[in-house]
Amino acid sequence: MATTKTDPKLGLAANGGRKSKSYEGLTRERLIEAYRFMYMSRRIDDREILLKRQQKIYFQMSGAGHEAIGVAAGLALKSGYDWFYPYYRDRALCLALGVKPLDMFLQGVGAANDPSSGGRQMPSHWSYPQLNIVTQSSPTGSQILQAVGCAEGGRYFARRPKAAEIPASSSESPLLAKDARNGAPVIPFDYRQFKNVKFQNDEVTYVSLGDGTSSEGEFWEALNAVALGKLPVIFCVQDNGYAISVPVEVQTAGGSISRLVSGFPNFHFEEVDGTDPVASYAAFARAAQYCRQGHGPAFVHAHVIRPYSHSLSDDERLYRPDVERERDAARDPVTRTQMFLLREGILDEKGITQLEKQVDEELQIAVDQALEALPPAPETIMKYLYSPDVDPTATVFSTPAAESPAAADGKKPAAKTMADLINATLRDEMKRDERILIFGEDVADCSREEYLKRKLVKGKGGVFKLTFGLQNEFGPDRVFNSPLAEAAIVGRATGMATRGLKPVVEIQFFDYIWPAMMQIRDELTVIRWRSNNGFSCPVVIRVAIGGYLTGGAIYHSQCGESIFTHMPGLRVVFPSNALDAAGLLRTAIRCDDPVLFLEHKRLYRETYGRAPYPGPDYMIPFGKAKIVHPGTDLTVITYGAVVPRALQAAQKLERESGVKVELIDLRCLNPFDWDAIVTSVEKTNRVLVAYEDSLSWGYGAEIAARIADQMFDKLDAPVRRVAAADTFVAYQPILEDAILPQANDLFRAMKELAEY
Ligand SMILES: Cc1ncc(C[n+]2csc(CCOP(=O)(O)OP(=O)(O)O)c2C)c(N)n1
Ligand SMILES: [Mg+2]
């Protein structure tokens, strides 16, 4: 709760008769406190507007008109105990939770010591780890699914408190406590050592949004998910009747979001005048009680006003007549609350004046301090893109494969497919780390558990069976099916990981990752950077990718890895064989960064690249390529399903022409092994970059450009590329063959380049 205390000297009106009166559970002192936060919130907006006009800050977004509902939520919920996913109008909420005006002005000026983001985010983008106010972004509504995951995370830890414990770094695997090469002590190897998990058995998660934002699909995915899971989430829709210039009746069918959501089961619903702090508090208190008691989620629909245009870049007089604006002004929560305090004899005029003067003085000091604050240093721009604690490229992540015990008949251990080894790695990691949760579409063995228990069915475990048997072994609270909603899969995982869990989620086909794009590009990858390391979300997203399927067609064959390697903050891994998949997946799970783990469907059960299971500690560091075939005449750089095709071509070229190709499998695309490329190209002076995605703007374009740029004087020939045609992958196999790069295409390009 609020930390700012009301000054006892303030003129409490001499109206002794009503002193004991309680207003929906709010005492007179709390009401004065509420007014103080509301007035302060409005005055901060006013100061910021002035500062913006003076060009001392660079953006302004006001919370004006939303103060009463915000303060009510702040008073009804518990700071640092409950969890908060606010939006930009939640200034008053943040003040009531304990954020200081100085913190807000520091964000406005973009100061190095802005506690929200260190000068990286616009003002009103709140982020305060100590208060459980989770970093927010600018896309409308992308916080909502994370709030769902946050609530799921809290509940998971409450049910399994042991999972929250931090393992000792060396006790579990002494092998990993020293550098493999020189025996020096190494950095710790497990994300859990850097996640200080906190949770409460009856915590609730608050998430707010505007009326316009309720049109976003993610809002509806979130409502469905919380209703299904009966999760303790309070949705607070702050309905000011407009989304910039779009009025609510154009935004929301029938004009009432309350009416639209009323069919969702398990909810407690409140619709309230959000300009009235007492009524708003009562609504929030009831909502919080319902959630804390474990009945399910709550929905608070608060009718508020927006007196200051959408932002300082908007002029609402262009689309709202005076008559409408005056009607709103009559409901202004700040004046309304002031009148209420006077009317009820809680403060007299002198008391009001004194309170406001104190606030104004406090804000003046805060503004002066903020204007003196230093800006962040330009050298810091790359800081906190990734975990500063766990470096997945470090040699500690290079561990030998365990010797497989020989079979009883003395034969070599059986070589397993990539699908087998991914499944085995997931199983061993789940045994080792109780924070790992697996969910996605169809990943469970069987959602109707009784069928499994009664052994009526074997279970599915994914459309490619990669997660087969895991629900059976670890139970339905660790391995479960999600609704068919990719944004929800990634958004919920992000919220869970923020709480310290390790979700390893599956996107069934790369072709269907796009609904999750906003969550990946604007949330998952950015959270650590934008919060200046205040929050992190090291999720692993496993994705079945790629073509060469004979019939896969447009929507089951896509590649597009360069779209994701283009995102700072995301590790992108693309193994070509079973052993690499096992080693890299383990690193992905244990590291502290978000990882996109691309699994080529064609390689899942390929004969190429099978291997015995390398044991429960086998890891491969990120950013280390593998020389698949050593050579001296020509370097071929590739990855994924092109590796076996390039190998075939290289072997043929050597047989027919004696050309020795050095074939490099990158294995990891971000980071990638530039050193391996340099070493090889310095030796061969000729280079071909090959990839399955369409040629133009593909991943290999960046590699080719770097080589041309940095190794120009080492080259005896132009850098060439072989890739798919710049079209879609067609269904008819004749077309598919013509579109995707084949061994023959690679052979021809290698030969030409060797002869250049
Ligand atoms: C995904 C997305 N689309 C568009 C925008 C631009 N935008 C910012 S706020 C806003 C209107 C939001 O209206 P509402 O949800 O009613 O909240 P209010 O600002 O009225 O409180 C829009 C369109 C955005 N930030 N994100
Ligand atoms: Mg609105």
Judged by its nearest atom, the ligand closest to the C-alpha of residue 64 is 1
d(CA 492, CA 594): 14
> Relative to the CA of 138, which ligand 1 atom is closest?
25
Give the residue, by CA position, lying nearest to ligand 1 atom 8: 140
Give the residue, by CA position, lying nearest to ligand 1 atom 20: 243
d(CA 339, CA 278): 13
Residue 238 pairs in a beta bridge with 210, 302
C-alpha 239 to ligand 2 mean position (Å): 5
Q: How high is the pLDDT of residue 170?
A: 45
C-alpha 447 to ligand 1 mean position (Å): 37
For residues 211 and 239, is the Cβ–Cβ distance under 8 A?
Answer: yes
Output the pTM of the full model: 0.95
Q: How high is the pLDDT of residue 6?
A: 38
Q: Note every long-range contact of 168-172, with CB atoms under 8 Å and residues 24 or more positions apart, other chains counting.
A: 169/193, 172/432
Give the residue, by CA position, lying nearest to ligand 1 atom 7: 140
Protein residues with C-beta less than 5 angstroms from the ion ligand 2: 210-212, 240, 242-243
Q: How high is the pLDDT of residue 21?
A: 76
Backbone angles phi, psi at 251, to 5 degrees: -90, -40
Q: How high is the pLDDT of residue 167?
A: 81
C-alpha 250 to ligand 2 mean position (Å): 12
Q: How far is CA 10 from CA 21, 337, 353, 355, in A?
A: 19, 17, 9, 7
- Ligand 1 pocket mutation, candidates 87, 213, 235, 316, criterion most atoms within 8 A of CB: 213
Q: How far is CA 740 from CA 301, 548, 676, in A?
A: 52, 7, 26
C-alpha 302 to ligand 2 mean position (Å): 11
d(CA 627, CA 72): 62
Give the residue, by CA position, lying nearest to ligand 1 atom 13: 243
Q: How high is the pLDDT of residue 409?
A: 72
Q: How high is the pLDDT of residue 404?
A: 73
Q: How far is CA 309 from CA 123, 318, 319, 327, in A?
A: 16, 10, 10, 15
d(CA 721, CA 742): 13
> Relative to the CA of 211, which ligand 1 atom is closest?
16
Structure tokens that stand for 111 in this block: 């100061």
> Relative to the CA of 209, which ligand 1 atom is closest?
15
Which parts of the chain register pLDDT below 50? 1-17, 170-177, 185-187
Give the residue, by CA position, lying nearest to ligand 1 atom 11: 243
Residues 287, 101, 214: CA angle, nearest 5 degrees: 40
Beta strands in 396-442 (DSSP E): 436-440
> Relative to the CA of 66, which ligand 1 atom is closest?
21
> Relative to the CA of 141, which ligand 1 atom is closest?
1
d(CA 381, CA 310): 30
The H or E element containing residue 710 is helix 699-710
The H or E element containing residue 544 is strand 540-545
For residues 669 and 632, is the Cβ–Cβ distance under 8 A?
Answer: no
Q: How high is the pLDDT of residue 164?
A: 95
- Ligand 1 pocket mutation, candidates 121, 140, 252, criterion most atoms within 8 A of CB: 140
Place of tokens 């690679």: 746
Give the residue, by CA position, lying nearest to ligand 1 atom 21: 210
C-alpha 243 to ligand 1 mean position (Å): 6
C-alpha 90 to ligand 2 mean position (Å): 13
What is the dihedral angle through the alpha carbons of 678, 680, 685, 691, rounded to the nearest 10 degrees?
Answer: -90
C-alpha 244 to ligand 1 mean position (Å): 7
Residues identified as active-site = 556
Q: How high is the pLDDT of residue 183?
A: 57
Residue 83 pairs in a beta bridge with 205
Nearest CA to 384 out of 500, 525, 519 is that of 525
Residues with CB under 6 A from ligand 1: 89, 138-140, 209-213, 238, 240, 242-244, 306, 310
